[in-house]
Structure 1
Amino acid sequence: MALVFVVNSGSSSIKYQLIDPEAGAPELKGSLERIGEPGGDAADHTEGMRVILDRLGSGAEIAAVGHRVVHGGSRFDRATVIDASVEAAIEELSSLAPLHNPANLLGIRAAREVLREVPHVAVFDTAFHQTMEPAAWRYAIDRALADEHGIRRYGFHGTSHKYVSERTAAVLGRPLEELRTIILHLGNGASVTAVDGGRSVDTSMGLTPLQGLVMGTRSGDLDPAVVFHLERVAGLSSSAVDELLNKRSGLLGLTGRGDMRDVQRAAADGEPDAVEALAIWRHRIRHYIGAYAALLGGVDALVFTAGVGENNALLRRRALQGLEFLGIRIDDDRNELDSRAERRISPDGAGVEVLVIPTDEELEIARQALALIG
């Protein structure tokens, strides 16, 4: 049995799973928190890795270590075996993901120090979207400046979108190459991807995960001039605007609540700000569905995934209301079914198959890592 140790490292945390990719289920999973802090689970990431290996036990035969890396820029379009040059590239790309890539590197370096005889594989959130054409990824700014500084649309949640697109084909019993799919990854972070024949052709997130849908604390789409206006009239620095748009906007900025469940409860109680916030959230989703239906030249499947997408029947229904003209309909009984299984929630004979597919990014990382090392 070939086991893959999957690592998702944050600046002060390590989430991990030991997965049998063939069985499709974790043998063990857990996390370390407050690394490097008083009373935390470990003094640093290297000690944390040793703590985790003790938990795994000496009998765990690890074939590979799969690392989640947020930003691969335009250099990495697939999973890659990690060596010193790959580490250096991930560090260089930290300017594009300063909150994520340095933290991912802490886990990579600690795991390579502790597990020296095992191949380590980086799986990039951005890799799946490297199939986009320039018409989708290039911003209309000075070409030379953009190329020099890597300014373009990269997209994120790619590991999730890849996994879900392939599971959609399996659930429908249709070849992946024939399917035009819109995937709604709806959680605290949220993104939409248009997938044509298994290839990402457009996605809502951009240079960073800030662009696109309304999220828990992120604004999503915004006129860039808002930044300059805030600097001029509100006296905010660029770092203050960065914090505002990433950490104090979205649902939190609109309602004072960053959790969708709290916003829903407030809306149900008739709170005007919460009611309006849900309307804005829905409007943005419908905007992207319409755009991607046009881009794909039609839709065969529309799929909900991630925390809100998998678990919130009411918001699934509201998000799709009024899209019947596209052949998109929901069967209320199927939609309301309390299930964690992959399932169809559209009525029989609907023009577009609407599904709920629980995502499993860790399993996808494990499978890509094992496939790469053979």
Structure 2
Amino acid sequence: MSSADTTTAQHVLVVNAGSSSLKYQVLDPATGTAIATGLIERVGAEGGRLTHTTVGTDHERDLDVPDHGAAMAAMTDAFAEHGPDLAEANLVAVGHRVVQGGARFGGSVVIDDEVESIIEDLATLAPLHNPPNLEGIRAARATFTEIPHVAVFDTAFHLTMPEQAATYALDREVAERHRIRRYGAHGTSHQYVSRVAAQHLGIPAEQANLIVLHLGNGASATAVQNGRSVDTSMGLTPLEGLVMGTRTGDIDPAVVFHLARTAGMSIDEIDTLMNRRSGMLGLTGHSDMRDVAEAMDAGDEHARLGMEVYTYRLRKYIGAYTAVLGRVDAVVFTAGIGENSAPVRAGALTGLEHLGIELDPGANERRRSGPDPVRISTDSSPVAVLVVPTNEEAEIAREAVAVTGAKAGPQPG
């Protein structure tokens, strides 16, 4: 945490409301520096817990949070008790993460009642995410009434995909009626990371060609051409694409029919299988890549195969996106696994020297910390390989100020 002067710098409150949690940060959008962060867990369940962090100090307490309105009240109480004082923090906007913006939102927007209604309508495309996102928005708008609220959509960055990349070869009328197309996800992270990578390379963002690999429990790859997303691995939902912690990624859709017919599984059971019981968890028994690596070191063959499946899928996407882009300035790793797993990075790039990708093994293995990008390719590698820590909250804050043209103004009562 920074002890920035909250009386002069502008700040944005960033809210990320999940189905059972509320995460928040107060950031300086100019620097991305957070002066406070917090997490409220088990919203809507027993045993709620709040962790509020300021200037490196954690303040924790148990509490009952029956809904997101109660979570928002607990958050404001934490600010009042532990600081910083929101009345003096020069809040100019509240930025909200929203997972699904459909084809309606190609960028961030100031939230009004109509925008709320559209987010609610799009919940059919993201039933696990948009409803809690919307609950957080409504609770925050009721609390912070005198400053603008901005929705920043995970899908917006990918609406620049050309039609041939976004369109499934499905009956056109069915697809149009049910809004079936490829939307992608993690767009806020991909947007932030691609801009920071371009800066690090000394290339204007609008001229950079990058393959960005956001590898966390959820994982996605994006081909960025001249600063714009032209293809991404996730599709209608976050199930498509790379192997993930608990999700299959790409799989023959006829597996659904096969399981229904031969195993007697219901649609809900297959949904749970593919989204929650597969991926690395299904292959190895572990959803955390650190546990997979430990199991590999101990000689576990399931872990070895799981890692090979994971990195093989990455290599396929890197190769495919190299073909899409033609010229690649850098392959960029980000998010928890991308930033911290040297074996995954090495496995993903093994054998790609013919594409001009030459990993520096020593640089790849070196432990790193801090927010700065790091090059892990050889100096002579035609394609750079970078590790760029993501900061979705900073990107949301930046978007909130850009959309509103926010200036310091009256604070919410």
Q: Give the TM-score band, short-chain normalised.
A: over 0.9
**Residue of structure 1 equivalent to 2:395:** 364
CA positional deviation for 1:63 = 0.6
Deviates more, 1:138-147 or 1:339-348: 339-348
The answer as to 2:223 corresponding to 1:223 is no
DSSP 3-state at the match of 2:66: coil
The one-letter code sitting in structure 1 at the alignment partner of 2:300 is E
The one-letter code sitting in structure 1 at the alignment partner of 2:380 is G
Q: 2:33 aligns with which of 25, 44, 53?
A: 25
The one-letter code sitting in structure 1 at the alignment partner of 2:397 is A
CA distance in 1 between partners of 2:74 and 2:177 (Å): 42
CA positional deviation for 1:74 = 0.5
TM-score where L is the length of structure 1: 0.98
**For the Cα contact (< 8 Å) 1:264–1:274, is it kept in 2?**
yes
The one-letter code sitting in structure 1 at the alignment partner of 2:38 is G
CA positional deviation for 1:55 = 2.4
Q: 1:342 aligns with which of 373, 377, 380?
A: 373
CA distance in 1 between partners of 2:214 and 2:96 (Å): 21
Deviations 1:187-237 (A, max 9, x none): 110000000010000000000000000000000001110000000000000
**Residue of structure 1 equivalent to 2:74:** 51
The one-letter code sitting in structure 1 at the alignment partner of 2:169 is A
Deviates more, 1:167-176 or 1:333-342: 333-342
What is the root-mean-square deviation of aligned Cα atoms in Å? Answer: 1.0
CA distance in 2 between partners of 1:20 and 1:242 (Å): 40
Which runs of no fewer than 5 residues in structure 2 stay unpaired?
Answer: 1-8, 49-62, 80-84, 406-413
CA distance in 2 between partners of 1:37 and 1:123 (Å): 27
**For the Cα contact (< 8 Å) 1:11–1:106, is it kept in 2?**
no
**For the Cα contact (< 8 Å) 2:108–2:151, is it kept in 1?**
yes
**For the Cα contact (< 8 Å) 1:186–1:304, is it kept in 2?**
yes
The answer as to 2:22 corresponding to 1:14 is yes
CA positional deviation for 1:102 = 0.4
Deviations 1:294-353 (A, max 9, x none): 010131111000001001112211210100000001112221221123111111121101
CA distance in 1 between partners of 2:67 and 2:256 (Å): 37
The one-letter code sitting in structure 2 at the alignment partner of 1:198 is G
CA distance in 2 between partners of 1:366 and 1:250 (Å): 32
Q: How many residues align?
A: 374
The one-letter code sitting in structure 2 at the alignment partner of 1:9 is A
CA distance in 2 between partners of 1:337 and 1:276 (Å): 25
Could you tell me the percent identity over the aligned residues?
A: 58
The answer as to 2:191 corresponding to 1:162 is yes
CA distance in 2 between partners of 1:37 and 1:237 (Å): 27
Matches within 5 A, 1:126-145: 126-145=155-174
The answer as to 2:147 corresponding to 1:147 is no
DSSP 3-state at the match of 2:194: helix
The one-letter code sitting in structure 2 at the alignment partner of 1:46 is G
Which runs of no fewer than 5 residues in structure 1 stay unpaired?
Answer: none
Q: 2:151 aligns with which of 122, 126, 132?
A: 122
Deviates more, 1:331-340 or 1:97-106: 331-340
CA distance in 1 between partners of 2:282 and 2:117 (Å): 37
DSSP 3-state at the match of 1:236: coil
CA distance in 2 between partners of 1:66 and 1:343 (Å): 29
CA positional deviation for 1:82 = 0.5
Matches within 5 A, 1:259-270: 259-270=288-299
